[in-house]
Structure 1
Amino acid sequence: MTSLPTSDPDPAALAPLVSRTVALTPEAGATLLSLLPDAGPRDTTSWVRRGDGLVGWGRALSVTARGEDRFAALESWWRSVSASAVVRDEVDLPGTGPVAFGSISYAARSPIGATLVVPSVVVGRRGDQWWVTTTSTDSLPAQADPEVAGDVTAPGGVAFADGSLSPAEWAGAVGEAVSRIQAGELDKVVLARDLDVRTESPVDVRWLLSRLAERYESTWVFAVDGLVGATPEMLVRREKGLVTSRVLAGTIRRTGDDEHDLALAASLARSSKDLEEHEYAVRSVADALAPHCSSMNVPEAPFVLHLSNVMHLATDVAGVLTDDTSSLALAASLHPSAAVCGTPTPVADELIAELEHMDRGRYAGPVGWMDASGDGEWGIALRCGAIHHDDAQRMSLYAGCGIVAGSVPEAEVAESDAKLIPMRDALTAPPQS
């Protein structure tokens, strides 16, 4: 059952949303992330890759839904808000006009639920085009004039501690999962672990975003309602009738030696264990998109995606949309994919609940944005951490690994450690010179 908190009003009871988008000429040298003011963890939003994307601050409206129908509840709310909105859009690109940023809990049973946030101010960039959107429930919202925000605050001393399971206990869970797979109960399961973080000073989201963007430029650097990270995986993009999805499954850690890493990439591309894991994930995405798309393009073999800390097997799936399904509804049809759950999905999901001993929260759930037309981009919340809503000096970091019959527990612990590096480094990075 889905519930909506009383603090989030019914859109029918609100004054219509008023939104104005105009072209923007930023200061020389400005970046999207440099324009973010100190709005606090819950009211800072970001979706940025290689300098392009969207950032926002403030909160004109928001809604939270929980339970099995959380996607549908958010979709209904946003359609209602968008239908009654008064929009002046002088730019007319995907991401202009009113925009909602969202992050969705992995599990329906999670009390954290799913949240959409409509920022008061959104700044967007696509190549040489910049724009700013101001949104409110007032009849005449003040037009923002964003400026470079200045210095951000370092988190100070950072202490890491085991989360729900120690590495040894988590390796035991991996071993149990391998036994279940070898017994024929399922083909694959994705197991995650968490890490507790305490910081000397409240976490400034902008500190994390800027450091993640510096080191992982090929990822989407995101922030929604206190969830912060850099995901390499595009769950689904809908733009003017074209639907695309990037599937990542199968991982190997980089050494920093280019020649050695090329050899590792070649071994990854030949690994029967990793190719099997990847095939499950690609099949689950293609099957979910097929009812909504025609002219599906599913490459026969993956390519190796090189990130600064790891390499992944990757496949880009594409199709032409044949109905009016929104990007959020497409994300709902894809979640949870084999890349974050397993195969068969119901069996893998039950095993996750049994072996992980934690609430994933919004880790491994969809995260991204949607505009009033339904276009948008939704990634999978990976390489991320959640700032606690009641204590900005505490975070939970997450990482997961795909477990198949040939998985070795010690190797999976090492892989999870590699996937925790982006957030660990972002928290402990020295100040920029």
Structure 2
Amino acid sequence: MIEVKETPIEELLDRVISNLPSNKKYQLVSITKKIKEVNTLHFFEGAKALNKDRIFWTSTAEQYDVVGIGNAYEIHAKENRFEITENKWNELLANAKIFNPYQVAGTGVVALGGMAFDPKKEQTHLWEKFSPSQFTIPAFILTKNNNNYYFTINTYVTKDDHPRQLATEIEHQESLLFRNMEQPSDHLTINEKIEVKPDKWRETVRQAREAIRTNKAEKIVLAREMRLKFNKEANIASILQKLIDKHANSYIFAFEKGEDCFVGATPERLVKLNGEQLLSTCLAGTAPRGKTKEEDLKISQDLLKDEKNRQEHEFVVKMIKGALETYSTEIEIPNEPIVYPLKNLQHLYTPVTAILKDGYSIFDIVKQLHPTPALGGTPNKESMAFIRDHELLDRGWYGAPVGWLDSNQNSEFAVAIRSGLIQGNEASLFAGGGIVKDSNLEEEYEETTIKFKPMLSVLGD
């Protein structure tokens, strides 16, 4: 299965352990090698036999998958989470020994994780396993990049470690991972579907609309929750397979923390960074897909002309442009949006490209972009205050940045919408809508109902 053309693991470990400075108790070692083709989802499914947390990330529009198994190191932050996370990440890289001859995205030291939508909102029991900012450097990483496959091992070594013994232990776990690969299979059905406080949500929408009409905000995004109960414990790999099959042009993700797993298929890129090349996305304004080509075309044309949706979209375009101006140059934004079709929905879409200035990082950009007007509202301070005081749920990681960054100066973050928190044989799904001064309560309710469908469609609905 594995093509080993690189320096043997034992030799690399021996080199690091022998040269470990006397003032260092331990050191992170990262070793990447190229391997033969592997089905990343089968690898993810088989890895559950090791009883370690798993992470899955794929961009279905590109040939890019990352699967993380276990935990070599974890970065947590509560206060000043962007600055603290960046500082800990930089410190980690500065002290790591990285053996990676390939330098492609998603290899070497890779951190995958996310953040809470609003760390000032009191955390509920629902999200107790997910920190306000939590990034994992997995012990094992399988990466698919442009139909090439790589396997990375991340481990800490000490002066007392024996290279051969440590290498044997690592290779044993590696062999188990590749030997246990399984095709996911599941026949999940929804036994119970409960919309959480729908009437109170409508009342909150009315309150938000009134606040906007009295000039307390221009737009406020309000989310609601749906609670599901299944016939048995959900199989995460099976859910991921269905999401991949049904949702082209999306980021499919899963972050597993013990028995809980945050899963989704989001079309909304927050930012992608390749060296200094920056790409962001304005995705706001939503309509359903038509049942025929003619109906679909008419809906898309109506979406382009719809004043409410165009206003929503323009909020996001202006915010992203303003957020990038301090940190980048050569910002390019098309004058008009296009329609971005998905399986169940279509959105207004505008790409934004720029060049990141020296001295700034992906964390500077994420901090400026989150929350976008598509998930929070505008102005940011006023809309977030209303959400914090009035919204009926703890969003947790819903609507927040999730993604990855690597030691090769690559990173990508998406906005975690079209998502749910799976907890054994139960789940919470989340969907939101942008409220403006002319919003109709029932239309907003129906829009959120449509936004539940991407997850419902893979969970047995």
TM-score (normalizing by structure 2): 0.84
Aligned to 2:227: 196
Q: Which runs of 5+ in 2 are unaligned?
A: 1-22, 124-130, 158-162
Matches within 5 A, 1:251-400: 251-388=286-423, 392-400=424-432
Which residue, out of 418, 435, 445, partners 1:403? Answer: 435
Aligned to 2:134: 115
Which residue, out of 9, 22, 28, partners 2:33? Answer: 22
Aligned to 1:249: 284
Counterpart code for 2:242: R
Say whether the 8 Å CA contact 1:249–1:278 is kept in structure 2.
yes
Say whether the 8 Å CA contact 1:14–1:137 is kept in structure 2.
no
For 1:181 and 1:314, locate their aligned partners in 2 and report how far apart those are by CA, in whole Å. 25
The 3-state SS of whatever aligns with 1:36 is: helix
Say whether the 8 Å CA contact 1:79–1:372 is kept in structure 2.
no
Aligned to 1:414: 446
Provide the identity percentage. 28
TM-score (normalizing by structure 1): 0.89
Q: CA RMSD in A?
A: 2.2
Say whether the 8 Å CA contact 1:18–1:136 is kept in structure 2.
yes
* Structure 1 residue 64 corresponds to structure 2 residue 95: no
* Structure 1 residue 75 corresponds to structure 2 residue 86: yes
User: 1:354 Cα shift?
Assistant: 2.7
Per-residue deviation, residues 176-211 of structure 1 (Å, max 9, x unmatched): 212221222111111111111223333322121111
* Structure 1 residue 92 corresponds to structure 2 residue 103: yes
Counterpart code for 1:412: E
User: 1:163 Cα shift?
Assistant: 5.2
Aligned to 1:9: none
Aligned to 1:5: none
Which residue, out of 29, 37, 44, partners 1:36? Answer: 44
- Which of structures 1 and 2 has the bigger CA Rg? 2
User: 1:117 Cα shift?
Assistant: 0.9
Inter-CA distance 161–424: structure 2 relative to 1 (3 Å threshold): same
Aligned to 1:154: 186
Say whether the 8 Å CA contact 1:327–1:374 is kept in structure 2.
no
Aligned to 2:19: none
For 1:328 and 1:35, locate their aligned partners in 2 and report how far apart those are by CA, in whole Å. 30
Deviates more, 1:41-50 or 1:294-303: 41-50
User: 1:374 Cα shift?
Assistant: 4.1
The 3-state SS of whatever aligns with 2:425 is: strand
Counterpart code for 2:70: G
Per-residue deviation, residues 290-346 of structure 1 (Å, max 9, x unmatched): 111100012111111000100000111110011243323321221111111011011
The 3-state SS of whatever aligns with 2:458 is: helix
The 3-state SS of whatever aligns with 1:45 is: strand
User: 1:164 Cα shift?
Assistant: 4.2
Inter-CA distance 47–324: structure 2 relative to 1 (3 Å threshold): farther
Per-residue deviation, residues 379-425 of structure 1 (Å, max 9, x unmatched): 0011011234xxx3332111111111222111111111111111111
For 2:195 and 2:388, locate their aligned partners in 1 and report how far apart those are by CA, in whole Å. 16
Counterpart code for 1:46: F
User: 1:171 Cα shift?
Assistant: 2.1
The 3-state SS of whatever aligns with 2:326 is: helix
Aligned to 1:53: 65
Counterpart code for 1:417: T
Per-residue deviation, residues 47-78 of structure 1 (Å, max 9, x unmatched): 212242312222212233224x1222222221
For 2:179 and 2:330, locate their aligned partners in 1 and report how far apart those are by CA, in whole Å. 44
Deviates more, 1:36-45 or 1:246-255: 36-45
User: 1:154 Cα shift?
Assistant: 2.6
Per-residue deviation, residues 248-272 of structure 1 (Å, max 9, x unmatched): 1100011332210111000000111
User: 1:365 Cα shift?
Assistant: 0.6
Say whether the 8 Å CA contact 1:32–1:52 is kept in structure 2.
no
Q: Which runs of 5+ in 1 are unaligned?
A: 1-11
Aligned to 2:14: none
Aligned to 1:129: 148
Counterpart code for 1:104: M
Say whether the 8 Å CA contact 1:299–1:315 is kept in structure 2.
yes
For 1:421 and 1:63, locate their aligned partners in 2 and report how far apart those are by CA, in whole Å. 33
For 2:302 and 2:100, locate their aligned partners in 1 and report how far apart those are by CA, in whole Å. 50
Say whether the 8 Å CA contact 1:44–1:224 is kept in structure 2.
yes
Say whether the 8 Å CA contact 1:249–1:402 is kept in structure 2.
no
Which residue, out of 104, 113, 128, partners 2:115? Answer: 104
Aligned to 2:236: 205
